[in-house]
Amino acid sequence: MTVNELMEEVDRLHPNQFTAADKLRWLNRVEQTIWQEIILTHESDADLSEATAPSYDDPAGTDVLLAEDPWSRLYPLWMDAQIAYYNHEIMQHDTAAQAFNEAYTAYRNWYNRTHMPLGDVDHLHLVDRTWGWA
């Protein structure tokens, strides 16, 4: 999903009075969270030591967001939650926030399963203490 696709989907599915700058700020906030909590905690093919989280400033941009399909559904859910929050629509916000949290958790869990976490451990040694197996 690109920035432009997200902006068009959000405005089509949840018409709102918020500016593109507001929505870009919300998008950058969630991308920063994904970057810090998920991407930087795992090994990568690229050298991320000098890299920073993506930051978007063009609502018509063609930049691809961090969470790829099918996980990209977390972005419209995040935007829906922000729109409802700032409109003081508490029930809608709670519903959207719960859906976002489920989508974010699913993405994080998938990323954790498919990318090696950073650290000194090169393998796990599991022991079943019930049977004494090593």
In a domain, 107, yes or no: yes
Q: Mind listing the pLDDT tens digit for each residue in 39-61?
A: 888 776 665 656 778 899 999 99
pLDDT at 46: 61
pLDDT at 122: 57
- Per-residue pLDDT, 118: 73
pLDDT given for residue 68 in this prediction: 93
Query: What pLDDT was estimated at residue 25?
Result: 97
> Is residue 88 assigned to a domain?
yes
36 located within any domain = yes
Query: Would residue 131 count as lying in a domain?
Result: no
Domains contained in the chain, number: 1
pLDDT < 50 stretches in the chain: 134
* 83 inside domain: yes
- Domain membership of residue 89 (yes or no) is yes
Q: Which long-range contacts (CB under 8 A, 24 or more apart) does 1-5 make?
A: 1/64, 1/65, 1/68, 1/69, 1/72, 1/75, 2/61, 2/62, 2/63, 2/64, 2/65, 3/27, 3/56, 3/58, 3/59, 3/60, 3/61, 3/62, 3/63, 3/65, 4/59, 4/60, 4/61, 4/62
Domain extent, residue 97, equals 3-114
- The pLDDT value recorded for residue 124 is 57
